[in-house]
């Protein structure tokens, strides 16, 4: 899956990398598990962030209720999972976007089920509230080149990385280990940064250097 913003890529830590051309936009499912009062606000925020990454919204799936239900008992989540399991050429989606991982899975069992569903669908998730676990001084952060990718070759997943002014930004990443370790080296890109930066994922990526997180 390739996501490309409309603006040119910046130059940082070396020459700019030309974005990969693509014939289609990423298809994203927006998911929210909220109370009645939060529904419109959260789904609007999700739509804005999806548009910033030039992703087409395949569907918006919502579960409403004060008490979170297990994943399998939520009609909104069942629809989101169904779309993620379908190829984009047949009306499915390859990206899941939510306010936070906890809105989807707040127990060990649900988190394991979520990881399994994303793995089976070859999809990845993006969370708006994804914050670093620890603040790492910029001087100690890995100096990724523009457009670098951290790859889990056994699961065919890629985390999009952009280096700006020597700082590593994460535009999107899958969930779970070893991806959670990325936030110790990078921080999530803000909406403004996502709007002004070009994000892309190469169709063919090799093994990451050994010193990458």
Long-range contacts from 154-162, C-beta under 8 angstroms, 24+ separation: 155/119, 156/122, 157/124, 158/201, 158/202, 158/205, 160/3, 160/199, 160/200, 160/201, 161/186, 162/12, 162/189, 162/197, 162/199
Residue 4 within any structural domain of the chain: no
Domain end (from 86, 108, 129): 129
Can you give the pLDDT of all 213 residues of the chain as single tens digits? 333 333 344 434 444 443 433 335 688 999 998 876 678 888 888 998 888 878 899 999 999 876 668 888 889 999 999 999 998 888 899 889 988 888 888 788 888 888 888 888 888 888 887 644 344 444 444 444 444 444 444 444 445 555 454 455 555 555 554 455 555 555 555 555 555 544 333 333 344 444 444
Sequence-distant (≥ 6) Cβ neighbours of residue 195 within 8 angstroms: 5, 7, 52
Are 96 and 160 within one domain? no
Residue 56 within any structural domain of the chain: yes
Report whether 13 contacts 146 (CB < 8 A): yes
Total domains in the fold of the chain: 2
Are 186 and 118 within one domain? no
Q: Say what the pTM is.
A: 0.54
Structural domain of 195: 131-208
Residue 161 within any structural domain of the chain: yes
Q: What does the DSSP 8-state code read for residue 30?
A: E
Chain-centroid distance, C-alpha 176: 12
Are 114 and 162 within one domain? no
Residue 117 within any structural domain of the chain: yes
Are 55 and 142 within one domain? no
Are 60 and 114 within one domain? yes
Residue 13 within any structural domain of the chain: no
Are 124 and 179 within one domain? no
């Amino acid at each position: 899956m390739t996501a490309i913003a409309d603006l040119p890529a910046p130059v940082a830590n070396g020459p700019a990398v030309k974005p990969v051309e693509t014939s289609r936009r990423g298809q994203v499912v927006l998911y929210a598990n909220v109370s009645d009062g939060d529904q419109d606000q959260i789904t609007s925020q999700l739509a804005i962030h999806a548009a910033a990454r030039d992703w087409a919204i395949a569907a918006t799936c919502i579960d409403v209720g004060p008490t979170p239900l297990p994943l399998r008992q939520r009609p909104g989540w069942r629809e989101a999972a169904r779309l993620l399991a379908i190829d984009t050429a047949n009306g499915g989606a390859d990206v899941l976007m939510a306010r936070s991982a906890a809105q989807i899975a707040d127990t060990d069992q649900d988190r394991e089920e979520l990881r399994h569903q994303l793995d089976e669908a070859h999809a990845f998730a993006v969370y708006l509230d994804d914050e670093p676990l620890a603040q790492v001084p910029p001087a100690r952060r890995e100096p990724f080149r523009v457009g670098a990718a951290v790859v889990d070759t056994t699961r065919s997943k890629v985390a999009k990385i952009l280096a700006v002014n020597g700082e590593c930004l994460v535009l999107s990443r899958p969930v779970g280990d070893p991806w959670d370790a990325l936030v110790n080296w990078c921080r999530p890109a803000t909406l403004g940064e996502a709007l002004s930066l070009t994000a892309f994922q190469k169709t063919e990526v090799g093994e990451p250097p050994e010193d990458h997180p």
